[in-house]
Copies of this chain bind each other. A is one copy, B any other.
């Protein structure tokens, strides 16, 4: 929809997401980019990138928002259904590229699903 200009700030954020299934929390991005841009800017860029289908967001069990790169989504169309994993020890959070089965629920029209798995990552086991 709206044109997303490739500004210095946008590039900085896009680089972080490049070639990784690692997710970043909004809070961690604000901290990390503190010297380079305002927190309002961070959130607004994340919003735009999500609108464009370049990244997607999800919530963790504390209610924090996390962002990660999309693999195959388009503008306004987030279609890549996959679970996320958060390590309770190191906090690392990432996309899992596995198929998940969503149960059918009688009389309900299911449109989306978010699965968050928690435990220990390979580093922390």
B83 touches A108 (CB 8 A): no
Shortest distance from the beta carbon of A65 to any chain B beta carbon, whole Å: 7
A 60-114 contacts with B by CB, 8 A: 60-65, 83, 85, 88, 96, 98-103, 105, 107-114
CA distance A64 to B64 in the complex (A): 10
B112 touches A117 (CB 8 A): yes
Inter-chain contacts of A121 with B (CB < 8 A): 107-108
- Known contacts being A61-B114, A65-B63, is A98 close to B105, with CB within 8 Å? yes
- Known contacts being A64-B63, A65-B63, A113-B117, is A122 close to B96, with CB within 8 Å? no
Which of B64, B103, B112 interacts with A100 by CB under 8 Å? B103
Instruction: Type the 1/0 row for A6-21, where 1 means its CB is closer than 8 Å to any CB of B.
Output: 0000000000000000
- Known contacts being A63-B59, A63-B64, A64-B63, is A103 close to B112, with CB within 8 Å? no
B113 touches A113 (CB 8 A): no
A111 touches B102 (CB 8 A): no
B96 touches A103 (CB 8 A): yes
